Homo-oligomer: A and B are copies of this chain.
């Protein structure tokens, strides 16, 4: 599944080459996300990515300057989609318990429907903290990390609301958010999308997550 097709503005300090067309980049990202998901980042070669497109390295390097840039762009897209889904819920006017339930549901569903992208995003961050990265890549990485922190804050704030309103048990939001996101993100470890099981199966999984989290927070 491609990241938002409707993203025509050239990315800010993305590693994509300026002149390259968006659809071309998207194809690279989709192939790369699938490859990273299967073999992991370092074990994936640029030729692997190209093979998935029925192409050669030339095509990949026509759109992206480096493997790390592809990786970072996958992160950015994945995080952006997650934020786009969840932020409106978090900032809405519903009761905290209902907001958390809806956020958990949205998070779980997006993890499954956009699996390769989300898996790379969820599992891959630390891979770059030690490596050789350029100035621009470091900036992009910091940007993604900030997005992730901001995303976690969405949950923290709703937890705080709920605690104040006595809708949740007494808890420390910063600490309580960890098992919640853990229960959710662990999906990227055990879940494997299979074509034959449709929305119903995903919904069942998402509802189990909702149930577990909401009960874990009740006073």
> Which residues on B sit within 8 Å (CB–CB) of A176?
208, 212
Copies of this polypeptide in the complex: 2
- Chain A 195-215: CB-based contact to B (< 8 A → 1; otherwise 0): 000000000110011011101
Q: Mostly helix, strand, loop or mixed at chain A's interface?
A: helix
- Identify which of B127, B169, B171, B186 contacts A185 (C-beta below 8 A): B186
In contact, B182 and A127 (Cβ under 8 angstroms): no
Q: A41-B42, A182-B182, A186-B186 are in contact. List 12 more A-B contacts (CB 8 A).
A: A38-B130, A43-B131, A175-B204, A176-B208, A179-B183, A179-B209, A179-B212, A182-B184, A182-B185, A183-B183, A185-B186, A215-B218
What residues make up the interface of A, taking CB atoms closer than 8 Å to B? Answer: 38-43, 123, 126-127, 130-131, 169, 171-172, 175-176, 178-187, 189-190, 204-205, 208-209, 211-213, 215-218
